[in-house]
Amino acid sequence: MSSLNLDDFTDLIERPDGGVRRDAEARRERLVVPPGSLGRLDDLGEWLTAAQGVVPVRPVERPRVVLFAGDHGIAELGVSARPAGSAELLVRAVLEGGSPVAVLARRLGVPVRVVDMALDCEPEAFPADVVRHRVRRGSGRIDVEDALTLDEAEAAFRAGVAVADEEADSGTDLVVLGDVSVGGTTAAAVLVAALCGTDASVVTGRGGLAIDDLAWMRKCAAIRDALRRARPVLGDQLQLLATVGGADLAAMTGFLLQAAVRKLPVVLDGVVSSACALVGQRIAFRAPDWWLAGHDSGEPGQAKALDRMALEPLLDQGVKVGEGVGALLALPLVQAAASLTAELPEDPALSEEAELPEKPGLSEEAGLSDEAEEKE
């Protein structure tokens, strides 16, 4: 029996400040650029203002990419274009600066943090700050066995909470959240199908490297079999993550919920982070108010999860590589919205009109008339 009470997050998570958002909307009405002319940037700026709780909004100056890494046993079935257990190579490319997310992050001046939760390699392969939260080596094959024990799922969840606290305490003002995994999209699809009550075929995508039809059928069958194991534990989200998730997915779920507690905005990447967000929504219904969908990865499971959370992707560039790349591409858009919201001047005419004193009411005018008559 887990000692972790997930119901606490329902009480701990508040919505972004509605009063501050109304103030931001009122200020927007007075800007020199007409309301609506900036499209979604207006909504984005107002959302960020409410998340920060201050008008005008502060610029996003200390963003960070956080990637949770792990290998999934289900990859042994050939459901991924990458070999099972090869996430180690992906992580190495990130750390050495040769992956897409590393290139973009370097260009944008954003630090990248990798958190190894269940890579299928020796922990000595990476620096201590990467592996210190590791729960196990690889996750179980979810079509026939649990991904984790319940204790491991709790440890992974708590690790995600700890990482969120570390980021909030260090001054990070926005997180780009992604995963580095092999087989992760299969586990994510199972979570989405289970929580949305859909069949395996509805959520089965082709992954980052676009698997062929035969691999897609194997993936669909694996999701179907794992889904049978997931349905009996739908009422317990930690047990669900232990049964068909993985250490990286459990950690991402804990991270997302604690980020909402700490009022730290998060930009979601692809289907894996979206699936974890969906689990988080089931735990605490207000939590998605702190998250943005960075982009549309084309994975049907992601589309299903975002629709359930009423989150609309900021970009649609067909990016499927994962690793937080699509979400990182959306970061300049968020920063642009913050700058426009904070720095565009108010229209002097509108500002003066807003500051004019109210005209006296009918009763006051009548009182003045009576006084004039008495003087006469």
Catalytic residue positions, numbered: 323
CB burial readout 147-179, b (16+ within 10 A) else e? bbebebbbbbbbbbbbbbbebbeeebbbbbbbb
Amino acid symbol at 359:
K
Distance separating alpha carbons of residues 67 and 324, to the nearest angstrom: 7
Please list, in sequence order, all residues whose beta carbon lies within 8 angstroms of the beta carbon of residue 117, skipping any fewer than 6 positions away: 68, 69, 70, 133, 134, 135, 156, 159, 246, 247, 248, 250, 251
CB atoms within 10 A of CB 219: 25
Region of 322 please: left (phi>0), alpha (psi -120 to 50) or beta.
left
Residue 12 C-alpha from the chain's centroid: 18
Distance separating alpha carbons of residues 157 and 255, to the nearest angstrom: 8
Handedness of CA 27, 29, 34, 36 (dihedral sign): positive
Residue 118: phi, psi to the nearest 5?
-160, 45
Please list, in sequence order, all residues whose beta carbon lies within 8 angstroms of the beta carbon of residue 197, skipping any fewer than 6 positions away: none
Coil, helix or strand for 204? coil
Please give the sequence-ordered ranges of beta strands (E in DSSP) within the chain, or none if there are none: 63-71, 112-118, 174-182, 266-268, 291-293
Percent helix, strand and coil across the chain, each to the nearest 5: 55, 10, 35
Whether the CB-CB separation of 198 and 207 falls below 8 Å is answered with no
Distance separating alpha carbons of residues 212 and 231, to the nearest angstrom: 28
Residue 116 C-alpha from the chain's centroid: 19
